[in-house]
């Protein structure tokens, strides 16, 4: 059986083969490319989402790290600092605050023993001062706002003279060290 195609039949057969080859190519090659590209698109979106989460976590980590550095001074440096250094730092800081407030220190002496409560050691000192009331308020405010977290445990205020221009104050200050 001999196939002899001429003219329009030959063109239709060639066109049919071309369409068949095109359909097969589309079916096997192009569909695979489209499937791979859509899968890669999904993977890229997933990677972008993970990257955004990672960036947010890194920002939070940086904030926490900066906060740790910022509040490191509250711990008075290393935990291995001995008691004398800690008490000395407390007394120096109170003297500095009193000087800034314009308060005259009559007596500033550390208490003999520190208290240990849970994991915190409380160092105390007795302070006697003379000043005007506004200067004493300023000192109290500065003590409460200080970076070493000095606390004012007890305070007694009495007038020094009848006019009450100058007052005497006796207080116990403390510093908690973890």
pLDDT in tens, 97-134: 999 989 989 999 888 888 887 777 888 899 999 988 88
Read off the pLDDT of residues 130-150 as tens digits, 9 standing for 90 and up.
Answer: 988 889 999 989 888 887 778
Q: Is the pTM of this model over 0.85?
A: no
Strand ranges inside the chain, DSSP E? 104-110, 115-117, 120-131, 150-159, 167-177
Range with top average pLDDT, 47-61, 62-76, 79-93: 47-61
Least confident stretch, 36-40, 83-87, 96-100, 137-141:
83-87
Q: What letter would DSSP give residue 72?
A: G
Average pLDDT over residues 78-89: 70
User: pLDDT confidence of 51, banded at 50, 70, 90?
Assistant: very high
Is the CATH number of domain 76-177 1.10.10.1100? no
Both tokens of 97, joined, read 């605050």
Residue 114, SS3? coil
pLDDT of residue 80: 44
Range with top average pLDDT, 4-13, 25-34, 87-96, 159-168: 87-96
């Amino acid at each position: 059986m001999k196939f002899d195609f001429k003219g329009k039949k030959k063109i239709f057969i060639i066109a049919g083969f071309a369409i068949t080859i095109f359909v097969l190519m589309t079916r096997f090659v192009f569909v695979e490319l489209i499937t791979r590209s859509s899968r890669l698109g999904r993977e890229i979106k997933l990677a972008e989402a993970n990257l955004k989460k990672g960036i947010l976590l890194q920002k939070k980590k940086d904030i926490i790290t900066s906060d740790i550095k910022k509040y490191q001074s509250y711990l008075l440096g290393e935990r291995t600092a001995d008691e004398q250094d800690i008490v000395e730092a407390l007394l120096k800081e109170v003297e500095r605050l009193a000087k800034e407030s314009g308060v005259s220190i009559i007596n500033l002496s550390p208490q003999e023993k520190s208290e240990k409560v849970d994991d915190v050691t409380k160092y105390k000192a007795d302070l006697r001062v003379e000043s005007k009331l506004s200067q004493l308020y300023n000192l109290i405010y500065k003590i409460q706002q200080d970076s070493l977290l000095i606390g004012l445990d007890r305070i007694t205020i009495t007038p020094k003279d009848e006019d009450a221009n100058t007052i005497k104050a006796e207080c116990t200050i403390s510093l908690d060290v973890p």
